[in-house]
């Protein structure tokens, strides 16, 4: 059991998830790490939009799971991956909610990338 708070998105902290009609490509070290036409765009409060990419469209072999974790009271526990091709800059560059809270169930089996830890996140 945990005493960490679980919060539901609402007027005070809105979160929306919608299908992104664009192709999303992520590159690191000159290599394509992710390429999808099935990304989800998550918009949370005043934060910049984040592209969540299905794991099936990510070169998971190019990622190394790290021990770093974080907790979001709206989404749950996040696990992280580093991208060795990006060296130190790409440490903990990828996050995923493997068992997100019910309100965010749509992002299960998706990953997201920090834009400043990869070479490019291109929407085409």
Number of domains in the chain: 1
Indicate whether 27 belongs to any domain.
yes
Cβ-contact 33, 51 below 8 angstroms: no
- SS3 of 38-100: the string is CCEEEEECCCCCEEEEEHHHECHHHCEEEEEEEEECCCEEEEEEECHHHHHHHCCCEEECCCC
Specify the residue for token string 């539901």. 8
Residue 34 within a domain = yes
Question: CATH number of the domain that 85 lies in?
Answer: 2.170.150.40
Q: What is the mean pLDDT of each run of 10 residues along the chain (124 residues)?
A: 85 97 96 98 97 98 98 98 96 98 97 97 95
Contacts of 19 (CB under 8 A, 6+ apart): 38, 39, 40, 41
Residue 29 counted as domain residue: yes
pLDDT of the residue at 3? 82
Please report the pLDDT score of residue 2 as a whole number: 60
Host domain of residue 95: 15-123
């Amino acid at each position: 059991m945990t005493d960490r708070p679980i919060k539901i998105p609402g007027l005070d902290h809105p979160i929306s998830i919608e299908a992104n009609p664009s192709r999303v490509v992520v590159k690191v070290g000159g290599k394509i790490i992710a390429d999808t036409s099935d990304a989800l765009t998550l918009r949370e409060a005043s934060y910049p939009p984040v592209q969540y990419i299905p794991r099936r469209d990510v070169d998971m072999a190019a990622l190394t799971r790290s021990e770093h974790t974080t907790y979001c009271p709206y989404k749950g526990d996040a696990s992280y991956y580093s991208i060795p091709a990006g060296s130190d800059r790409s440490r903990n560059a990828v996050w995923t909610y493997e068992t997100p809270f019910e309100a965010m169930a749509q992002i299960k089996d998706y990953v997201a990338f920090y834009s400043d830890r990869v070479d490019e996140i291109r929407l085409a």
